[in-house]
């Protein structure tokens, strides 16, 4: 994954919309998601999002297996351009070139699409996931983080993502659903979204627990 982590890109300021999951005391910890978020936040430095060209894989070497870079090819569609080995294992094949929705059950794809729409407007999203138990497939909890990246024209056209899971993968492919209701939250940093895009406060209704 380390060889294509570069494009070019500058900054912006404004208000950011945030989509955290509804935290539970029993929710499993996802340290890699946390580490990548912290790195992204340090690169952002008060802007709406860091630039794609600023993403250096070296500080994130221990996270690369569960990371990906996706391109927003439509407001609600992201296509994978780079993907770590863990994503290969979950899908059972090379996921590059496929839509991110390939990791989701059909019933959860509308919720993913709504999250992608807001990420394209400057939000960052955390989606708590579960792949249900089936033959040769143990139940698998996961967390998907979607963090916007800007291009050379300050447009959000890429997503830095993390899909971290806990437990054995089992037989591929694995398909996930959301396990928590989603809510929107305003970031404390004043920012503005890219020209031509309006921020929206949309509640993304979560999947069934």
**Residues 200, 123: Cα–Cα separation, whole Å:** 10
pLDDT tens string 126-151: 999 999 999 999 999 999 999 999 99
What share of the chain in percent tops pLDDT 90? 71
Question: What are the residue ranges in the chain where pLDDT is below 70?
Answer: 1-28, 181-209
Tell me the CATH number of domain 2-21+29-186, given options 3.50.50.60, 3.30.450.20, 3.40.920.10, 3.40.50.10490. Answer: 3.30.450.20
* Domain assignments of the chain as residue spans, ordered by start: 2-21+29-186
DSSP symbols for 116-175:
HHHHTTT-EEEEEEEEPPBTTB--EEEEEEEEEEE-TTS-EEEEEEEEEEES---SSP--
Give the model confidence (pLDDT) of 1-36 as tens digits: 544 443 433 333 333 344 444 334 344 689 999 999
CA distance 146 to 38: 13
Q: What is the pTM of this model?
A: 0.77
Pairing state between β 140-150 and 17-19 = unpaired
How many residues are given for the chain?
209
Provide the pLDDT for residue 187. 53
Query: pLDDT at position 57, please?
Result: 92
């Amino acid at each position: 994954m380390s060889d294509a982590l570069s494009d070019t890109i500058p900054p912006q300021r404004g208000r950011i919309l945030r989509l955290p999951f509804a935290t539970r005391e029993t929710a499993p910890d996802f340290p890699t998601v946390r580490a990548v978020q912290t790195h992204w936040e340090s690169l952002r430095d008060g802007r709406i999002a860091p630039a794609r060209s600023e993403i250096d894989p070296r500080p994130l070497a221990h996270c690369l297996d569960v990371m990906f870079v996706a391109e927003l090819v439509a407001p609600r569609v992201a296509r994978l351009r780079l993907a770590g080995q863990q994503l290969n294992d979950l899908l059972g094949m090379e996921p590059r070139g496929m839509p991110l929705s390939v990791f989701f059950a059909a019933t959860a794809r509308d919720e993913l699409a709504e999250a992608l729409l807001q990420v394209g407007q400057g939000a960052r999203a955390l989606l708590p996931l579960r792949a249900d138990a089936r033959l040769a497939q143990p139940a698998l909890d996961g967390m998907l983080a979607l963090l916007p990246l800007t291009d050379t024209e300050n447009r959000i056209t890429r997503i830095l993502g993390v899909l971290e899971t806990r437990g054995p993968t089992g037989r591929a492919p694995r398909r996930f659903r959301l396990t928590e209701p989603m809510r929107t939250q305003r970031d404390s940093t004043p920012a503005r979204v890219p020209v031509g895009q309006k921020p929206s406060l949309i509640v993304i209704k979560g999947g069934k627990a």
